[in-house]
Amino acid sequence: MKLKTGLLAAAAVTTILGAMWVAPAAHADDIQAVRMSQVGFETQGPKTATVADASRRPLPWRVVDASGREMAAGESVVFGADAASDQPVHTVLFSQVQTPGEGYRLIVGAHESRPFRIADHPHRSLQYDALAYFYQNRAGIEISADHVARPDLARPAGHAQETATCFSGTDKAGTTWPGCDYSLDVHGGWYDAGDHGKYVVNGGIATWMLLNAYERAQAKGGPGAAAFADGKADIPEAGNGVDDLLDEARYEIEFLLRMQIPDGVTLAVPVGVQSAEGPLTLTPIDVGGMAHHKVHDARWTPLPTAPADDRETRYLYPPSTAATLNLAAVGAQCARIWRTIDVDFARRCAAASQRAYRAALRNREVFAWDRFEGGGGYGDTDVSDEFYWATAELYAATGAEAYLTALKTSPYYLGGPRSGATATGDPGWASVASLGSMTLALVPSPLPDADRARVRANLAAGARAYLEEGWASGYGVPFGGAQYPWGSNGAILSRAVVMGLAFDFTGEWEYRNGVIQALDYVLGRNPLDQSYVSGYGDRPMRNPHHRFWAHAADPAYPTPPAGALSGGPNNQAMADEVAQGLSGHCRAQTCWADDIGAYSLNEVAINWNAPLVWTAAFLDDH
């Protein structure tokens, strides 16, 4: 989630010990020196723990079962100082233990782990709980007690009737917006994060990720292709004969289609890169076919606020080229998937996609600016990656030679995240070129065989770079360096998606093991001994920044359901009061607090939960 200026963060008390944030007193004693996944390990998969210990000599270790019988023994590997946590650590690899069971313990020197389990499919439930996040953040419908794990998670519909017109008036930087003479029915879709805003650019990448998980499973075949078969997820659409992953994605796609502007509309919008300070210059242009960037409240709602209790006026905010290309990309993806499921819906998606693409070609430099109250900015003044992504999706959907010709003019053509001159960058809402390359590598199309081989090789090269960063980390996380951005957990799991596809393309098990390392990190193998996923592990995230899952702010509101991913450590944009209290006192991986007021550390968001669905489903598919 992008910075939310103006939001009042709850006051928080933090304790600093050396360079590490220490959990509130109720949980401080729970932090243990042996850090590992708190969900468990695959029977035949890698099993790794990191142990915080300053010894410069290897430590003896042994694994015992629930009865105390020794199952394996050895010596730790001294890693030394871990830059991202400022901790001296050891690594223990105990993959030779391959008997399923509960109650195992790892004893390393004077340290002992909590009991852990070994199972064939330890992440099976996680894929469904992570997907349930999206249903529970739907706008426009009641969240029924029939489809949630606890009665307190049910709620009335928020914004059930949402017809909005364009924002008019003066923004925070002095630009006067004239508004528009139309309104759009933009009900439905997912609330983006902890607030009630709905954003096309974040909705685009989150939807793409869920649909890519579906396409990847269908391409591979086998049991994974039916992981979300009709009825597997607990959603209202279950029983309609359509894969539940597709049903959930369609709920957002319908909203994205509603954000498209009718033909023949002229609006005054900012064109080109302008100064970040002071009023913008607005130019009247034909915006027909473009997508409004977002819809949200005129002012930030207080914490907590149930969606049905939101009384703020909601507006459409100006269209952007980035949002328009997100619609073009996801619309094309929709068209090719639904053409054998619902031909009328597929045609709607195809028509909207092509209209949006033409509109973006006509208006290449209409950018979003973070100048409005009540919502995140999601500004992006380089949309070359969005053009590549949308063109790749349209090519995969149509096979039209014109799209391939356009693709070959892109600086990202066939690039992987780290593939030199054509590098796409890591996947993220503001860096989507890698999504185009993943589609070209995965989806059947007339792409020449040599080009498909090249893009797969480039993706695998990027995945190997991630692996190497993991090997250089004391906690094995494939995210090197000491700079952890807003939403670092989502960034780590998005890298895991690239590694997962690299495994599919090459069959090299190191890539699959890299996905496990990434998921192990967010599930507890980290310097805070913290599972960043609610409802999972001995120390799960409990207090997300969320306006309805807000028990920490008001006991009348519920705690979060299982399966919500915290944004995670962030030492780059420490915007809220909780984070500011940590700034200068924490290393990258320890700049986090389980605090409802810590929106720059502990918010939840659709673009972070989507790769959690992808990776959990990927690991279960074996």
Q: Which residues are catalytic?
A: 195, 545, 594, 603
In this structure, the strands spanning 41-42 and 116-119 are: parallel
CB 495 within 8 A of CB 466: yes
Please report how the helices 384-398 and 433-442 are oriented relative to each other, as an axis angle in degrees rounded to 10.
20
Identify any residues that bridge with 75 across adjacent strands, giving them in sequence order: 60
**What's the CA gap between 441 and 396, in Å, rounded?**
10
* DSSP-assigned states of every residue in 588-606: GGG-----TT-HHHHB--H
Could you count the other beta carbons within 10 Å of the beta carbon of residue 99?
Answer: 9
What tokens does 573 get? 């944009």
Which residue in the block uniquely carries the two structure tokens 């780590």? 492
In this structure, the strands spanning 163-165 and 101-108 are: unpaired
CB 213 within 8 A of CB 614: yes
Could you count the other beta carbons within 10 Å of the beta carbon of residue 225?
Answer: 16
Could you count the other beta carbons within 10 Å of the beta carbon of residue 275?
Answer: 9
**What's the CA gap between 36 and 109, in Å, rounded?**
16
Q: What is the CA radius of gyration of the chain?
A: 24
What tokens does 19 get? 């360079």
In the three-class reduction of DSSP (H, G, I as helix; E, B as strand; rest coil), residue 522 is classed as: helix
Could you count the other beta carbons within 10 Å of the beta carbon of residue 279?
Answer: 15
Identify any residues that bridge with 291 across adjacent strands, giving them in sequence order: 260, 320
Q: How far is CA 128 from the centre of its chain?
A: 15
